[in-house]
């Protein structure tokens, strides 16, 4: 069964790995178009994340000591390490899924796609642990943001009552949780400025890792859609190319994390914290 | 029409001898092993104060980001199969890494600006 193209080549074949659309000269050209199209999208993504990295570099350059101190205090190097390990492994399973699709070993494609999804969910689980800790500590930028540099004394106005507090007090955070208005004023040092700088650090942290997390979730959704389509024998996924495109996207997500981990977590780590915390 | 069918079958059977060239599993495993070693190297670079060895401020983060670049290159070349890609694919994969430094260079102008303190929430 074939339809002749302008070039006199067949566009349809019983083998989906050989078939190509009418406007291509040959299968190789169609494959190249897919890959170049995906890379074009990935280049826009590089610029997208690149702008955020630039913002981070600029602020790190303005307050180098302070931001690395915040990173050292509040980001868990160990959890970041585990997540890097998980994501690098998921890249391996994804590469294996693509290879299995190219070799038409369907069972293996399912296995490696599910393995990749499982690893992605593990990654998001670790991220959830990290985020919930920051949420509980009121480190999410916004009206309830609360940060006191270690040892800094502040005068807090909680529901109209003025009290002097030091870091470690949970009363202010407790009041904040219950939605009461409170304000913090510095008594000594530069508590306000360090709180502002911390808020900028956490803004960048949440935007960069949050955006990355959204990419992970979208990757999982795309993989699930492909698995469902494969299950129902959709002709759209009979070819290996959709899986290869998903693979390219997934490896890109991995690459972003490869840079995020040293930039955010390892800026100024504490060996003791890594080993025991 | 019959002629076309024959032609088609001939092409398909001919193509079947040229299956898609896939990357062997051993290559992926070697790259994965390399990435693991590099991951430990990244963490190692974070814990050793390199500026004591070579007096360059912020040498640790430079080394860590260089290692990250090596890791990313390994992923791009083998996992993303750019190594076996056509010239056009090579070019597209490379432009991202040309445009990004260009953007960073241009917007690096922020370093020269005066900064005012923003009001908090």
Domain ranges of chain A: 27-141+192-276, 153-188
Closest CA to B13 of A2, A74, A70, A83: A2
Q: Establish, for the pair of chains A and B, how many residue pairs have beta carbons separated by less than 8 Å.
A: 161
**Contact yes or no for B92 and A43 at CB 8 A:** yes
Residue A134 near residue A74 (C-beta atoms within 8 A): yes
Q: Which positions ≥6 away from B88 have C-beta within 8 Å? A: A32, A36
With beta carbons under 8 A apart, name residues in chain B contacting A251.
75-76, 79-80
Please, which residues 158-197 of chain A have a Cβ atom closer than 8 Å to chain B?
192-193, 195-196
**Contact yes or no for B47 and A271 at CB 8 A:** yes
Q: Would residue B14 count as lying in a domain?
A: no
**Contact yes or no for A1 and B8 at CB 8 A:** yes
With beta carbons under 8 A apart, name residues in chain B contacting A85.
36, 39
pLDDT digits (tens, 9 = 90+) for B41-83: 999 888 887 777 887 777 888 899 999 999 999 999 999 999 9
With beta carbons under 8 A apart, name residues in chain B contacting A91.
32, 35, 75, 79
Q: Would residue B118 count as lying in a domain?
A: no
Closest CA to A70 of A141, A173, A165, A14: A141
Put simply, whether A37 touches B (Cβ < 8 Å) is no
Residue A96 near residue A108 (C-beta atoms within 8 A): yes
Q: Would residue B91 count as lying in a domain?
A: yes
A27-141+192-276: CATH class: mainly alpha
């990749």: which residue's tokens? Answer: A116
**Contact yes or no for A262 and B28 at CB 8 A:** no
**Contact yes or no for A50 and B100 at CB 8 A:** yes
Distance between CA atoms of residues A73 and A30, nearest Å: 51
Q: Would residue B65 count as lying in a domain?
A: yes
CA distance B55 to chain A (A): 17
| DSSP SS3 for A161 | strand
Q: Would residue B18 count as lying in a domain?
A: no
Q: Would residue B96 count as lying in a domain?
A: yes
State residue B115's pLDDT score: 64
DSSP state of A187: S
Exposed/middle/buried for residue B95 (C-beta within 10 Å: 0-12, 13-18, 19+)? middle
Q: Would residue B32 count as lying in a domain?
A: yes
Structural domains of chain B, count: 1
Residue numbers of the domain that contains B71 = 23-108
Using CB atoms, which residue from A2, A15, A64 is nearest to B5? A2
Please, which residues 206-265 of chain A have a Cβ atom closer than 8 Å to chain B?
240, 244, 247-248, 251-252, 254-255, 258-259, 261-263
Determine the residue among A3, A4, A7, A10 to mutate to test chain B binding: the one whose Cβ has the most chain B Cβ atoms within 10 Å. Answer: A10
The backbone torsions φ and ψ at residue A269, rounded to the nearest 5 degrees and listed phi first, read: -80, 165
Residue A142 near residue A148 (C-beta atoms within 8 A): no
Per residue of chain A (277 residues), what is the pLDDT tens digit? 444 444 445 556 677 777 788 888 888 888 899 999 999 999 999 999 999 999 998 888 888 778 888 888 888 999 999 999 999 999 999 999 999 999 999 999 999 999 999 999 999 999 999 999 999 988 888 888 888 776 554 444 444 444 444 444 444 444 444 444 444 444 334 566 778 888 889 999 999 999 999 999 999 999 999 999 999 999 888 889 999 999 999 999 999 999 999 999 987 655 555 655 5
Using CB atoms, which residue from B19, B39, B89 is nearest to A85? B39
The backbone torsions φ and ψ at residue A161, rounded to the nearest 5 degrees and listed phi first, read: -100, 125
Please, which residues 44-103 of chain A have a Cβ atom closer than 8 Å to chain B?
46-47, 50-51, 53-54, 57-58, 61-62, 64, 77, 81, 84-85, 88-89, 91-92, 94-96, 98-99, 102-103
Residue A263 near residue A209 (C-beta atoms within 8 A): no
């Amino acid at each position: 069964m074939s339809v002749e193209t302008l070039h006199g080549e067949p566009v349809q074949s019983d083998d989906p790995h050989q078939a190509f659309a009418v406007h291509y000269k040959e299968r190789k050209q169609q494959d190249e178009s897919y890959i170049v199209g995906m890379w074009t999208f990935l280049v826009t993504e590089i610029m997208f994340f690149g702008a955020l990295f630039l913002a981070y570099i600029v602020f790190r350059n303005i307050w180098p000591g302070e931001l690395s101190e915040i990173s050292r205090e509040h980001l868990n190097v160990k959890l970041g390490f585990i997540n890097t390990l998980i994501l690098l492994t998921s890249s391996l399973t994804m590469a294996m899924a693509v290879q299995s699709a190219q070799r038409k070993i369907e069972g293996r494609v399912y296995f490696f796609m599910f393995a990749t999804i499982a690893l992605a969910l593990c990654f998001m689980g670790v991220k959830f642990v990290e985020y919930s800790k920051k949420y509980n500590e009121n480190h999410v930028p916004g009206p309830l943001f609360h940060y006191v540099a270690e040892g800094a004394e502040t005068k807090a106005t909680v529901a109209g009552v003025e009290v002097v507090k030091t870091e470690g007090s949970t009363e202010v955070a407790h009041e904040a949780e219950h939605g009461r208005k409170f304000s913090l004023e510095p008594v000594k040092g530069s508590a306000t400025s360090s709180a502002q700088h911390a808020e900028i650090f956490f803004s960048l942290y949440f935007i960069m890792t949050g955006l990355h997390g959204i990419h992970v979730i979208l990757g999982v959704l795309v993989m699930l859609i492909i698995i469902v389509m494969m299950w129902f024998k959709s002709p759209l996924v009979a070819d290996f190319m959709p899986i290869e495109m998903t693979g390219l996207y997934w490896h890109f997500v991995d690459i972003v994390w490869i840079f995020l981990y040293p930039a955010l977590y390892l800026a100024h780590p504490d060996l003791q914290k890594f080993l025991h915390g | 029409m019959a002629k076309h069918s024959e032609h088609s079958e001939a092409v398909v059977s001919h193509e079947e001898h040229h299956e898609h060239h896939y990357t062997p599993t051993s290559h992926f495993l070697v790259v994965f092993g390399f990435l693991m070693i590099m991951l430990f190297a990244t963490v190692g670079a974070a814990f050793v104060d390199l500026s004591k060895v070579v007096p360059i401020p912020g040498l640790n983060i430079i080394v860590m980001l260089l290692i990250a670049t090596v890791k990313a290159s390994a992923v791009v070349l083998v996992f993303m199969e750019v190594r076996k890609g056509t010239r056009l694919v090579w070019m597209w994969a490379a432009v991202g890494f040309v445009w990004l430094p260009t953007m960073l260079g241009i917007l690096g102008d922020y370093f020269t600006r005066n900064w005012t303190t923003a009001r908090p929430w």
